[in-house]
Structure 1
Amino acid sequence: MPSITSRRALLLGIPALLLTVGVVTAGAMMRSVPDGLDLALDKPTAAGLYKAAIAPQANPIAVGAMHAWTVTVRTPAGAPVKVASIAVDGGMPQHGHGLPTAPQVTKSLGDGRYLIEGMRFNMRGWWTLDLAIDGPKGADTVTFNLVL
């Protein structure tokens, strides 16, 4: 029969082991962000119909908090795209899940700028923010990578 000391060591050791495994796993996931990941926040869309830029309204980006972003859409020549519909999606590629909220464009700020509200990242790591832009030149997409 195990002694009280052995049982106590076992009861204390299991949570410590689980905590250690969790910390190591989280650290490995942060290190496994692909080398050379494009972290540009201003880039052309996939088909080159537009240039898009994103900017958080609050910096640094707080994990777990709701926040808003500004998206700027321009033509390749730099003219503002004043009328566009923008759908927002994204997620964590390494975890296989989407965003924990359903962010959306809530208003046009003028000069090709649009406000996205309802954005929240619930953990640190590699996130993607996917925008589907439908404007005067047609429909196009762009993906931004974020590492929090």
Structure 2
Amino acid sequence: MKLNKFWLIPAVLLVAGGIAFAATRSAPPADLDYDLSHLSENGLYQVTLVPGIDPVPVGKMHAWLVDVVDANGETVDAEIVMDGGMTQHGHGLPTVPIVTGKDHEGRHIVGGMRFNMPGWWVLTVEVDGEAGTDTATFNLAL
């Protein structure tokens, strides 16, 4: 009886896929910073996120405020783009957040925020202001 070796390819792919799937479902790193206010990656801006609802809901559309200030604490006139996703699951937000205006304190109002499941989310805010373009990244646990 001759052994057909072609069955090995699907079997190897199935095992590799299962390992990759399990790796993405593990617990988030224990040392994550969940602070919603910190410097952007290159230190150009202090970015603060304020959820429009507390606690942050799963499955409900809501808005966030994004405050961007310079090293002196002065509000920065900047364009921002907010996005996010679940790194471990390999998907982004189920919506496309959009800046809808500013509040009376000059904070950007970002509508269209919705998280479709509990877990570890990573939010990014790209800031394009007078000092240049920079990105701030935030962790959120729901």
TM-score normalised by the shorter chain: which range applies? 0.7 to 0.9
Q: Distance in 1 between matches of 2:130 and 2:106?
A: 12
Aligned equivalent of 1:57? 52
Report runs of 4+ in structure 1 exceeding 6 Å deviation: none
Higher fraction of helix: 1
Shift of 1:52: 0.3
Aligned residue identity for 1:59: D
Q: Contact 1:66–1:118 (CA<8 Å) still a contact in 2?
A: yes
Structure 1 vs Structure 2 CA RMSD = 1.6
Q: Secondary structure at the residue paired with 2:84?
A: strand
Aligned pairs for 1:107-122 within 5 A: 107-122=101-116
Q: Contact 1:45–1:142 (CA<8 Å) still a contact in 2?
A: yes
Match of 1:93 among 75, 79, 87: 87
Stretches of structure 2 lacking an aligned partner (at least 5 in a row) = 1-21
Q: Distance in 2 between matches of 1:74 and 1:112?
A: 10
Between structure 1 and structure 2, the one with the greater Rg is 1
TM-score computed with the length of structure 1 as normaliser: 0.77
Shift of 1:112: 3.8
Shift of 1:136: 1.1
Shift of 1:37: 0.3
Q: Contact 1:74–1:112 (CA<8 Å) still a contact in 2?
A: no
Aligned residue identity for 1:63: V
Shift of 1:110: 4.4
TM-score computed with the length of structure 2 as normaliser: 0.80
